[in-house]
Amino acid sequence: MTETGSNTMWGGRFAAGPDAIMEAINASIGFDRRMARQDIEGSRAHAAMLAATGILTNNDAEAIREGLLTVLSEIEEERFVYSSALEDIHMNVEARLKEIVGEPAGRLHTARSRNDQVATDFRLWVRGQTDAAVTGLEALQRALLSQAEAGADWVMPGFTHLQTAQPVTWGHHMMAYVEMFGRDAARFRDARARMNESPLGAAALAGTSFPIDREMTAQALGFDRPCANSLDAVSDRDFALEFLAAASICAMHLSRIAEELVIWTSAQFRFVALSDRFSTGSSIMPQKKNPDAAELIRAKIGRIFGANVALMTVMKGLPLAYSKDMQEDKEQVFDAADNLMLALAAMEGMIRDMQANVPALEAAAASGFSTATDLADWLVRELDMPFRDAHHVTGTLVAMAEKRGCDLPDLTLEDMASVEPRITGGVFDVLGVRNSVASRTSYGGTAPEQVRAQIARWKEKLA
């Protein structure tokens, strides 16, 4: 394939081609070649429609179809020669098609513009990434479900302010992330439903005078319907912004669990051990096993947030319809999608492989006066004490235990009775961490029976 001057694509309007600087700033082939398959898919649908409506002869349509398949095979086999002088993937494909089939290639662009062409290609690409994100999220949810099922009754500390709050079960903690990532998947599905309209046929901005069938091309490309307004069709990038918004929230959730893994693998916590597949060593400290995959996920999230802000900034001041500013949409989305998929895959691997240190979890759950709330609840339930009074009594007993260097269950009945004489020996039934988690049977609570019910619900949803 030979390179040709870019002035040819602009017809007779320009006498000379751009200089090197203009070519460099104007060309997008360095990144939009990723949409080659989508571009050819859209062109094939467009050519078939032109033939069906009589705008193109069947012979020309068949030549174009065969030629596009040849171009696609060259691209997939990495034999295709890209030209920056031809600016973008659309003109690169069209130029190669002309070399293969000759004059019919020039008829392919009838009743369309690069404006609706790129909008269609980009929607198809983002739609595919949206589906991939849902698949990645469901794989991660299944890994979390496996962990939750294994440890539905393992006890660990629950935290607020990163301070020990109340005992929870390992399964309950894992299921919290199943819920988060479930909402992420739902956001991607919602975004997909809104983006699934076809811009093809909107042409440059005003539609076309040719008798095209936009329903036909929309159906051929898997869209639910054509976009209803040609101005909006070529200038809309909401679909990319929604993808980035959903990706940003998902990335935030990934960063939260990555942060927990960094903390949990530390020598001070020792809650979990990551597999060697997702850890690295130190060049100087032989004892180190670093949770680098988790740390890199935590860091890569900034790129996804940044892409969201960058594209919002590109779009915020654009009048209708298309402006060249919108060429800056793709690199942001490509990078965010790449990093999101990498982060999802890495997190799924870490979660699936990680080993919980069950004795360390239970020992930590029993520290820090984690059953203080259970004591307060017992005082309310058994002694009919107002909760604020029970809170004060419990706080006094916590201070007593702290002064003696012990935990609440280590206080004697006499110690407790010195603060509240009506306390009986029955209070010790709620002070153990296992008793504590078993008592939290409200819907969505941490009791093992509730955790198993939620695991069953999610298994059915993901089946």
Task: Give which of 177, 200, 228 is closest to 39, Cα–Cα.
Answer: 200
Q: What letter would DSSP give residue 318? A: P
**Distances from the Cα of 106 to the Cα of 52, 202, 340, angstroms:** 18, 19, 39
pTM attached to this predicted model: 0.88
Place of tokens 């404006």: 115
**Distances from the Cα of 274 to the Cα of 214, 263, 289, 445, angstroms:** 52, 12, 9, 28
Q: What pLDDT does residue 11 have?
A: 56
273 three-state secondary structure: strand
Task: Give which of 430, 429, 396, 443 is closest to 415, Cα–Cα.
Answer: 396
The answer to whether 35 and 97 have CB atoms below 8 angstroms apart is no
Q: What pLDDT does residue 49 have?
A: 98
Active site residue 275: no
Structure tokens at 156: 């660990």
Provide the residue count of the chain.
Answer: 463
The continuous run of DSSP H or E covering 254 comes out as helix 238-264
The answer to whether 391 and 184 have CB atoms below 8 angstroms apart is no
Angle at alpha carbon of residue 266, lines to 260 and 270, rounded to 5°: 90
Q: What pLDDT does residue 85 have?
A: 87
How many Cα atoms sit within 13 Å of 336 on the Cβ side?
A: 31
Q: What pLDDT does residue 458 have?
A: 98
Q: What pLDDT does residue 164 have?
A: 83
Question: For each successive 10 residues of the chain (463 residues), what is the average pLDDT?
Answer: 46 62 80 93 98 97 97 96 90 95 95 96 98 98 98 94 89 98 98 98 97 98 98 97 98 97 94 82 57 92 95 95 90 96 96 95 84 87 92 92 87 90 87 87 95 97 95
Q: What pLDDT does residue 165 have?
A: 79
Q: What pLDDT does residue 277 have?
A: 84
Distance CA 160, CA 320 (A): 48
Q: What pLDDT does residue 221 have?
A: 98
Active site residue 391: no
Buried/exposed code over 12-42 (b: 16+ C-beta within 10 A; e: otherwise): eeeeeebeeeeeeeebbbeebbbbbbbbbbb
Residue by residue, DSSP assigns 397-410 as: HHHHHHHHT--GGG
Q: What pLDDT does residue 280 have?
A: 61
Q: What pLDDT does residue 166 have?
A: 86
Strand 355-356, strand 272-273: pairing: antiparallel
Q: Which entry of 73, 282, 323, 367 is annotated as an active-site residue?
A: 282
160 forms beta bridges with 163
290 forms beta bridges with 280
